[in-house]
Structure 1
Amino acid sequence: MARLLSRLAAILVAACLLFTSQALTTPERAAAADPGYLMVHFTGEGSTNQQMYLSHSTDGLHWNDLNGGGMVLRSTVGTKGVRDPALVRSPDGSKYWIIATDLCIGCGQSWGDSISNGSRNLVVWESTDLATWSQPRLLNVAGAIPDGRNAWAPEAIWNPATNDYVLYWATNATLNGVLKHRIYYARTSDFQTITTPQLYIDRPGTQGIIDTQIIDVPSGVGDYRYVRASGDGQITLEGSNSILGTWTTLGDLSGVGLTGAMVEGPMWMKFNGSNKWAVYVDQYASNGGYMPVVTTNPSDPSTYQVPASGSYDMGVNKKRHGWILNMTAAEESRVLARWPNTTANRLQSYNFQDRYVRHTNFDVRIDQNVSTSQDSQFRMRTGLVGSGTVSFESVNFPGYFLRHSAFDFQLAYNDGTAGFAQDATFRQVAGLADTTWSSFQSYNYPDRYIRHYAYELRLDPISTATARSDATFRVTS
């Protein structure tokens, strides 16, 4: 009971800070023309929330969910769920990776399972433009750790001293007779192969450590080139001038009323155009999601401040442990064009109005009783071949589109080829059976239209009244 009362008191202190810190200085909003910030994150438990989501901000404090608040990447490998993503940009900006925990709580795996016998893999996506991503793949990082039982919360940072990336994560393993989470690291240049994992961070006794993230600090700010924030019973701050060198403990966030019993998942961000930073922390104890704690010197705990209530807005989706990228103008343009807030719609059959287009095992048909199923939801994007056309992207399998192959339809992953783009692109025209509805003419076979036959979706020439009815649909929510 004493421990419970202490924890409640700590939460009350933090809440009071939020409402009484009106005088605290917060960074001004960036001008609309300035490049903004991209956050990659997950949103909660379950198979849908434990996927990849994106949010955008112009000032680093007010966030808007992209893609209509829907997921942008879905893991189809490992546990088929992902958490704790990091977004890594190569030094020359030519390649990007998302690396994430292979974990799906509440969809066949419990916390106990994942702690004692979880996935030893990370999930990895690659991109050259932040807009088009590869299929996910698994990277085994903990299999070579003696008694390694999982791999959680991966992060990575470019190390100029070795000209490659330091990839680091938490693994629950037994060392010197003590079973707990420690941070391990390996080096990699491509996130496909890694060096033998080594112990990176270990706390005394039985104290574990799970979440840690490093930020590169410019010269002239504080005493250290690198500062890391870690969840280890507190949100502990440490400084070093070498990523793989000796680290010095600087303090923690308890001075602003935030203890490890209240917050976790530290996530760094630098504000554009000023020597101001934020470390976002997840208020897991109160189920409050992320909040920013701002500073002008990451290596000095006395400079951290909790922003005034109402000075930040995390958007509609809850943001859970992720990563924030300061985008260039070109990156921002590509990201916002790829994931506009397009409404999710359904395609209702004209002559079987209780049936809607849906995918099942990547086949496509019209079915009844789909009102609660995301399998029947699609985003009508600007066509993959360009303006004046449309393509249908799956809501629950983002990156997968309705595509014809040998005039049969399937839900298929966009491989980026011209052939795929043409097969997945259509012209929306007046309904062939009712002009108040719609029909969809093939881009590369303009004499054919999307139609259903025996409830299966096909691409066919249309010459009869029945076929015209089969090829007519209503776009509806």
Structure 2
Amino acid sequence: MKQLLSFLLLSITLISCTVLPKQPAQEEVYLFSYFKGNGDGLHLAYSQDGYQWKALKNDSIFLKPTAGIDKLMRDPCIIRGGDGKFHMVWTVSWNEKGIGYASSEDLLHWSEQKFIPVMAHEPNARNTWAPEITYDARNKEYLIYWATTITGLYPETQSAMDKAYNHRIYYATTKDFKDISPTKLLYEPGFNVIDASIVKDQNRYVMFLKDETREPAQKNLKVAYSKNLTGPYSAAGPPITGNYWAEGPTTLQLGKKWIVYFDKYTQRAMGAVQSEDLETWEDISDKISFPQGMRHGTIFKVSKHEFEKLLQ
């Protein structure tokens, strides 16, 4: 009996000391949120290699817009937050003083859509366009940022063309999308700027942006940097896109490569450039494919399990 008890105790000790092998990381799938037409609703495309993108659900709408007066859903930006949920913001109108917001745990069932009046305090604000979110893990809060024209500001860069819009990038912070901080200026590069998209690169933040200057026309994408998420950001570098009008940048890192996707909106097509150092860029628009009629949005990742639920 004593021998049996000793054997059992030894067995338990060995089991408790066994180090189980680490399970391999779950495979991820890239998703691309986008809209079609004037802002019909949320569409999703997927890719496993970052180059070939296919529409989910036969390119039908995952979420129809209800927020705001005009009830548009343009420029949908989705990120996974610190709480594990998906958080989305979008442009609800051409001329309202706020943005749309909703959250989801599975991209299929969404919370009630909210209108967040981030520019309601500014009587001369003309619009609130192309909002995006970047999660600040250190402070456990979200940076929401967007482009707004405030009539009378920065007259030195205003053109009579493009309906005299003259944007700068503004921001607010929140921990829960209920209590929103006061709005502040995020980026004033000395030109009409829109479509900012910020990602972290080791110990710095990289802002991809559109130079919206109309006279003489720029309409290209550039890059700025900062040590802090809320800035100050550097002067914008030279254009990273070519001799065409581009907007709506979103970024994916594939190994050592940075790929920036964008909307060649005058050509009704999507484009992309890639780089290994964020300085020398190669146009790879002829190497990518997207659903027909797709307009710009953002890229994010889901697990293979989450993706399979979307396929069902």
Alignment TM class, shorter chain as reference: 0.7 to 0.9
1:137 is matched with 114
Deviations 1:163-207 (A, max 9, x none): 211110111103546372111100111223311100111232xx3
Q: Distance between the aligned counterparts of 1:60 and 1:279, measured in 2?
A: 11
SS in 1 for 2:177: coil
Q: Distance between the aligned counterparts of 1:131 and 1:143, measured in 2?
A: 31
Q: Distance between the aligned counterparts of 2:227 and 2:192, measured in 1?
A: 24
Question: Displacement, 1:332?
Answer: 1.8
Pair 307,120 (structure 1): closer, same or farther in 2 beyond 3 Å: same
Q: Distance between the aligned counterparts of 1:167 and 1:308, measured in 2?
A: 29
Structure 2 counterparts to residues 242-253 of structure 1, below 5 A: 242-249=228-235, 251-253=237-239
Letter of the 2:54 counterpart: N
Pair 163,326 (structure 1): closer, same or farther in 2 beyond 3 Å: same
SS in 1 for 2:193: coil
Letter of the 1:265 counterpart: G
Q: Name stretches of at least 5 consecutive residues in structure 1 with no aligned partner.
A: 1-32, 104-113, 338-477
- Of structures 1 and 2, the one with the larger relative CO (CA 8 A, separation 6+) is 2
Q: TM-score, structure 1 length as denominator?
A: 0.53
Q: TM-score, structure 2 length as denominator?
A: 0.80
2:59 is matched with 69
Compute the RMSD of aligned alpha carbons. 2.1
Deviations 1:392-432 (A, max 9, x none): xxxxxxxxxxxxxxxxxxxxxxxxxxxxxxxxxxxxxxxxx
SS in 1 for 2:196: strand
| 1:331 counterpart = 2:306 | yes
- On the 8 A contact 1:236/1:249 being kept in 2, the answer is no
Match of 2:276 among 296, 316, 328: 296
| 1:277 counterpart = 2:258 | yes
Q: Name stretches of at least 5 consecutive residues in structure 2 with no aligned partner.
A: 1-25, 159-165, 212-217
Percent identity among equivalent residues? 29
Match of 2:31 among 26, 38, 58: 38
Q: Distance between the aligned counterparts of 1:295 and 1:142, measured in 2?
A: 36
Deviations 1:38-81 (A, max 9, x none): 11110122xxx531111111111111111111111101232121
Deviations 1:70-120 (A, max 9, x none): 111101232121101110211242x111110002xxxxxxxxxx3xxx111
SS in 2 for 1:248: coil
Q: Distance between the aligned counterparts of 2:272 and 2:238, measured in 1?
A: 15
Structure 2 counterparts to residues 42-441 of structure 1, below 5 A: 42-45=35-38, 49-78=39-68, 79-93=70-84, 95-103=85-93, 114=94, 118-174=95-151, 176=153, 178=155, 180-204=166-190, 207-217=191-201, 219=202, 225-232=204-211, 233=218, 234-249=220-235, 251-254=237-240, 258=242, 262-271=245-254, 274-287=255-268, 289-297=269-277, 300-302=278-280, 304-307=281-284, 309=286, 311-315=287-291, 317-337=292-312
Q: Distance between the aligned counterparts of 2:121 and 2:311, measured in 1?
A: 40
SS in 2 for 1:326: strand
Q: How many residues align?
A: 270
Pair 308,153 (structure 1): closer, same or farther in 2 beyond 3 Å: closer
- On the 8 A contact 1:75/1:82 being kept in 2, the answer is yes
